[in-house]
Structure 1
Amino acid sequence: MDFLNTSFTPDGAPAEAIGDGRSFIDWLVRAALLDADDAARWKRRFHTEALDAAAAEARKVRQWVQEWISKWRDAPAANYEREVRRLNALIERASSYRELVVTKGGLQMTERLEIGAADDLIALVAAQIAMFIVTEQPTLVKRCAGPTCTLWFLDRTKAHRRLFCSAAACGNRAKVAAFRKRQRAN
């Protein structure tokens, strides 16, 4: 869900979390899809233009995934072969291997990622999207009902009737607006 929410409208003003290549890599670290050492290595290895192109592709993929998730939420049993092929093509752009490493805590198995070009970083996101699709229930995926909010969330409430991304933010705004409307009517 985090990837879908990298473009948002706090207080009605559009904001972009992956506006350029460096911010895309920083977001991958915050999302725990990339560790800080690899992030630093790839920032040094790839030119700014290549990283910016990777971020631009990520924004396009985000738009496509938002559209797909909306369809999937409304029709989970539909045929999504085309979407699956496209997602698999993105996943295949990177390869990984397992490696035994020595750490301060002892031996540890780790997964190493092979990235040939900056735009292959999207494979990290694509793999997470695929995992999301196969593990989550489509009926629990919702968009915030706030009139200016663009955030997505998983409704984990018992009754599955959650409307807002945050009760403290959008939910409170809706309650205040309803209260003011009632006050004006009186």
Structure 2
Amino acid sequence: MLAPSQAFLQLADDPALDFANTLATNEGELYDYLQTDGDVVAWLQAMGYLDAKEQPSFRKGALLGSARHLRDVIRKLVIQKKEGKRVDIAALNAFLVHVRYHVNLVRKAHGHLDVVHEYERSSPEQLLSPVAQAAAELLATGDFELVRKCEADDCVLWFYDRTKAHRRRWCSMAMCGNRHKVANFRARQRYAAGE
């Protein structure tokens, strides 16, 4: 697992799952990568939801509280959907009701056109609305056969398996996949040594 001081995990291949993964295990203990309002802003910037220059200002702790609540809602709904249960959409809709944006057609470099959604950001919920919208899209249109929890027993991370063969098992081969391989190798060595 990455050290808490390192960059946010972006390994889920889905922004809503990456947001859910801001609560992760680190050295065997649950670690919250969202410790301050600034951490939430940094995550939004890292994901491209907020420009690096933008520094929203709300009552201290308000953004963090809203972000943690939204993350809990997303985690709960993903688990409900994955288990085939009825998804309780009321809590996510409570965030989505704050979504306000307008759409612009903009000209990018080399004359390419792009559609840009510009969100209102006058409240913590509005600042988080692109994340809530990504979660709604995942729940409504995602293939939950391909939404998976990492197979490592001590890992709580989720991912969307977009690999060609759809056989992804680990949140990351560099983290949990490698630990699994090393553990299997050591077990084979002990077995061969007759332990």
- Tell me if TM exceeds 0.5: yes
Task: Report the 3-state secondary structure (helix = DSSP H, G, I; strand = E; otherwise coil) of the residue aligned with 1:163.
Answer: coil
**Alignment correspondent of 1:26:** 42
Q: Does 1:145 align with 2:161?
A: no
CA contact (8 A) 1:94 1:116 kept: no
Residue among 122, 127, 135 paired with 2:133? 127
**Alignment correspondent of 1:46:** 58
CA distance in 2, matches of 1:121, 1:27: 12
TM-score for the superposition, normalised by structure 1: 0.79
* Superposition pairs of residues 1-186 of structure 1, within 5 angstroms: 1-37=17-53, 39-40=54-55, 42=56, 45-47=57-59, 49=60, 52-75=61-84, 78-80=85-87, 82-83=88-89, 85-99=90-104, 110-185=116-191, 186=194
TM-score for the superposition, normalised by structure 2: 0.75
Q: Which amino acid aligns with 2:72?
A: Q
CA distance in 1, matches of 2:144, 2:153: 22
CA contact (8 A) 2:121 2:127 kept: yes
**Following TM superposition, by how much is the alpha carbon of 1:150 offset from its aligned partner in structure 2, in angstroms?**
1.8
CA contact (8 A) 2:73 2:91 kept: no
CA contact (8 A) 2:119 2:127 kept: no
Q: Which amino acid aligns with 1:23?
A: D
Instruction: Structure 1: give runs of 5+ residues left out of the alignment.
Output: none
RMSD in angstroms over aligned alpha carbons?
Answer: 2.6
| Worse-superposed segment, 91-100 or 131-140 | 91-100
Sequence identity of aligned pairs in percent?
A: 34
CA distance in 2, matches of 1:31, 1:177: 33
CA distance in 1, matches of 2:174, 2:114: 41
Deviation digits for residues 22-65 of structure 1 (CA, Å, limit 9, x no counterpart): 1101111111222234x32x1xx424x1xx22212211221222
Task: Report the 3-state secondary structure (helix = DSSP H, G, I; strand = E; otherwise coil) of the residue aligned with 1:36.
Answer: coil
Q: 1:139 to 1:99 in 2, by over 3 A?
A: closer
CA distance in 2, matches of 1:131, 1:137: 11
Deviation digits for residues 128-149 of structure 1 (CA, Å, limit 9, x no counterpart): 1112223320111111112322
**Following TM superposition, by how much is the alpha carbon of 1:159 offset from its aligned partner in structure 2, in angstroms?**
4.4
